[in-house]
A and B are shown apart, each in its own frame.
Chain A
Amino acid sequence: MNRINTTWVIDDDEIYRFAIKLIMKRADITEKTLFFHNGKTAIDCFTENLQNPDELPDLILLDLNMPVLDGWQFLDAYEKLKPQISKNITIYLVSSTIDEQDYNRAKAISCVTELIVKPLTVKDIQRILSAFNLD
């Protein structure tokens, strides 16, 4: 299986980020994983690297509830930047939400592949990778 080049994990939960770091390392599916503790820092990084597609992610695991810029706001900002991005980026929402409205909202956004409910398991990661290879 091909590995994913760059993965961004955007989540304010430190323990989750810690766990994901371990899982990513174990599953060994990505060359490089960057962590952001809210949507704002991630969007900043996007704006800085618009001209360097190599620095931009192939996969984003995005949390919904975050301080400063939450998942939805991040998606809004991302939609605005999208015309300037040459790279194909896959986005998964990863959240512990149980609100049906969140699911419907996620479905309505075309750049979001799926909303995965936490806890994210190794199985989920493998599923993401296989979907990646199909593309």
Chain B
Amino acid sequence: MKPSPVSDPDSELGTLICGRNGVASNQEASFGEQFSEFFSGILHTEDWPPRWYCGNWSDFHGWLYILSDLGIWAAYFAIPLLMLNVLYKRKDIPFHGIYLLFVAFILLCGITHLMDAVIFWWPAYRLSALIRLVTAVVSVFTIYALYKILPSVFSLRSVSELEAEIRKRHIVEEKLAASEFLLSEAGKISRVGGWEIDLITRAKTWSQTVYDIFELPYEYSIDHYNPIKQVQPPYRDTLKKAIRAAILTGLDWDMELTIVTAEGKTIWVRSTGKVLYDPNGKKVKILGTLMDIDRYKTNEIALSQSLELTTQHIQQLKNFTHILSHNIRNHASNMVLISSLVETEALDEYNAALFFKMKNVSDGLNATLEDLSQAIKIKENPVRSEVISFREITEKVLDIFESDLKVNNVKVEQIYETERISFPHIYLESILTNLISNAIKYRNPDKNATIVLRTYRNEQLKTVMECRDNGLGIDLELHGNKIFGLYKTFHERKDAHGVGLFLTKTQIESQGGQIQVESQPGKGSVFKIIFNE
């Protein structure tokens, strides 16, 4: 309520006193005196009347002023309280200090308004001035602090920016999780694990497959686990050296070694390691893979053992063949030599006949050995290929048979759909010689003999050389694959050795090709040389 007016003994009118009190004494006091008077009488009110009596306040005007001030104060009090509450609960809000300054600034502003209202009854103008001073100081500080942090405020991202960023990260995260899943599943299937050692903190990280390979549970603590101890002795030192070299010189490693798993199994693994550097070129991490190669390695070892054994056997066989052929050839050649020296005229008829038989045997033996050595040579020393022309080689071979062809009235037709082939020159010559001589030899005397030589590409795009004749043919049902065997003859002819087709097959097969035959007795034969290109 409006206080009752204070009666002033000096005022007869008993009206308002708002003028200066003891003006003289106040004006004369020094600054120091004023200062000390201010603070000592901070709560004194006797120098001023309550505001109701300073000036002419109508009730309405006075209460409007007072209630508005109280309203402002209430709001200014509530806002900081709410802010404090927020600050207390959300420690992550940036610029805490500034918020506190705001809280103080708003609170103080509120108090100045409260003071303004209170002064209507309690004219503590000194206290009011002090509160305003404090408010001013806090305000100025707040402005300064705000100005200081403005740049960092501007750099703060807006909520929508942050949301967009979060969405983006979320997508990346999902992708990462999917690829991590894929990687770890792939690692599990292929038994390849990844590991990492931080060279500074010594912290270790393993992918699940590494645990799998060591047969350790995923929750097993690897901080004090030394996987090198699981490596078996001959490889342990090698691995240690490799790791040392990696740390010292940055050299990568890739080696196969055996480890003993937690369950005591010995398995082959492949270990690789690589040093990672920070931007300053300092070695910070070793990154590596561990792969379970037991299955392959075991097979490889078994294979290489059997290969070694086979190679040994082949070498033994080769030596055996050489010794045998050498020794037999020695005897055979001596026999030829000696029989060439015999003076047959001096022999009587009986002995001469025996001797000629013997000479035939000796020549035959030598010829057989010659054939054999040819076959061995082809198998042991595959000749180098060169690009050659079918036409040129065929012409050359046909020249050799020129008189044979003429005498027997054999027609040769040549069709070259493929002109060239990469093949040893001497082999193609020998193959053609064999095929043509066979075709002449086994022609059908009742027909006009023709030989058709044709080159082309078959469905598998391999080059084929075909030699088709209308000769006697071979009963394949009877002889089958025997026809390429050594010393197999199928016609009653004295000049059939059974070597030609065997050599042809050996020569073509030594180059990765094959030979096929189609034939019907009385109709002729087709030989197909299928090249490996």
CB pair A98 B377 closer than 8 Å = yes
Q: Mark A67-99, 1 if CB is under 8 A from B, else 0.
A: 000000000000000000000000000001111
Separation in Å of the A117 CB from the closest CB of chain B? 8
Whether A119 lies near B366 (C-beta < 8 A) is: yes
Q: 1/0 contact trace for A84-124 toward B, CB 8 Å?
A: 00000000000011111000000000000000001111100
Is B326 an interface residue, CB under 8 A from the partner? yes
Taken residue by residue from 480 to 491, chain B's Cβ proximity to chain A (1 for < 8 Å, 0 otherwise) reads as 000000000000
- Closest CB of chain B to A52's CB: distance in Å? 32
The residues of B that contact A13 with a CB separation of less than 8 Å are: 330, 334
A6 in the interface (beta carbon within 8 A): no
- Residue B322 interfacial (CB < 8 Å): yes
Assess the B329–A23 pair: CB atoms within 8 A: no
Q: On chain B, which size bracket covers the interface?
A: 10 to 19
Interface residues of B in 368-420 (CB under 8 A from A): 373, 376-377, 380-381
Main secondary structure on B side of the interface with A: helix
Considering only residues 331-368 of chain B, those with a C-beta below 8 Å from chain A are 332-334, 336-338, 340-341, 366
A72 to chain B, nearest CB (A): 14
Q: How many residues of A contact B (CB 8 A)?
A: 20
Report the separation of the CA atoms of residues A118 and B337 in the bound assembly, to the nearest whole angstrom.
9
Q: Are the CB atoms of A19 and B338 closer together than 8 Å?
A: yes
Determine the distance from Cα of A92 to Cα of B337 in the docked complex, in whole angstroms: 18
Assess whether A118 is in contact with B330, with CB atoms less than 8 Å apart: yes
Complex alpha-carbon distance, A99 and B379, angstroms: 12
A118 touches B333 (CB 8 A): yes
Are A98 and B334 CB-contacts (below 8 A) given A119-B366, A121-B340?
no
When A and B form their complex, which 7 residue pairs have the shortest distance between CB atoms, in order from nearest?
A: A119-B333, A98-B373, A96-B329, A118-B333, A19-B337, A15-B334, A119-B337
**Contact surface of B with A, Cβ cutoff 8 Å:** 322, 325-326, 329-330, 332-334, 336-338, 340-341, 366, 373, 376-377, 380-381
**A19-B338, A119-B340 provided; 10 other pairs, C-beta below 8 A?**
A16-B334, A19-B337, A98-B322, A98-B325, A118-B329, A118-B330, A119-B333, A119-B337, A120-B333, A121-B337
A residues contacting B by CB (< 8 A) are: 13, 15-16, 18-20, 22-23, 26, 65, 96-100, 118-122
